[in-house]
Structure 1
């Protein structure tokens, strides 16, 4: 599931394949930009902002994309078989003589002036993996609405950018609170620890091919467990901390996982 660490890794792969090279292929398969043609222009670079990807071209243009739940970018060499999905799922093709980047199932894809990037990412809170990271601002944002559920506050990219459903469930477990508990009911210093732990987890996973929270740091390790995650995707399996069976529920069309013994608070 694409979260801040996954999107950063995607940006790195795209940047390595495209930056500093002249486009020989530029194909956006969305009606609004289907006639756009940037072949002959150089790619200046690719960067991530929270869960957003920004590919910048000479001439002051930026391609903004967002993976959401199912989107993906794949990079291929000359003649390499494309394995990202069927052709009808392709939304973008950016290529040069050495590499071709193909965007599949991209729900957000738009070409805009680079000077207008704030229109699509200016609303975001501090980026957990970005140069603008500010834990104090992130904490203030998180606590701005004390009655809001923790899970909703963590997933709101306007508070802090980069947390998705996996990290939300894992962070709530580490805070020993259910995702439905109002954030204002967290006792100090738990909110501060939530912010610092979120940063710690994404930093620990930014270079990992497989995300883990149980082995992200020694302080958070789960006693030699082979499980990569504490609760996410573990419904019906024993909690790594207490042995109680992990529960799951659908929440806003996304699965939420928690331990009914380790985590206190409402369950809906």
Structure 2
């Protein structure tokens, strides 16, 4: 297995099904899908069992009990279960374009992680997209998206940029090449070397913090936000709160200040 793709989910079976069809459309086919499930109910379990029979790629369902927002914990379990030496981490609400894995596979490089982005869709358009729209790839046609409610934005150039233009935009974008949990990849060993995600963290830049430890450990970020394309399906964030955001920021501040390369609250427990 050349790639392990880890996607997170929690009680969002409608979105997860669309994302799984997105991986069915991939031109790069030597991969497994590892679903990091933060305690979803049986609806998600039944969907994964059904979809596993309809897609060409192997699927692993890594699940734990619902004890609140524990995305970092289930991500660490999924990383441990992943078979490949190279990991792509995304979300169960991000549909990948058919060249998504090809980009990550061809641009992976020792000493680096890859940093991608996403394009947010409004709720009505998120719900409107069908299996056929995904398999035919028309949901990545910017004109089709705009006809169906996508607002005009320079960010829409992600859908049309290719070749030298995409490379130029990757080079000049003011956005940092940070670890973004919806679209980033790295060698598994590099992630193990920093002990994965810090399980003290709840919602709010938990992905960035691990990326900062990777960079402190000499692993640099490479920008691919105009090359590895995925669309983000809309959803609410009822788990977002000021207390967790402040706690996460304090952990990030300590990581930066002390140039930490390891967390004692990751895959390997102290």
Interval containing the TM-score (normalised by the shorter chain): under 0.3
Q: Which of the pair is proportionally richer in helix?
A: 2
- Specify which structure has the bigger relative contact order, considering alpha-carbon pairs within 8 angstroms and separated by 6 or more residues: 2
Q: TM-score w.r.t. structure 1 length?
A: 0.27
Q: Which has the larger radius of gyration?
A: 1
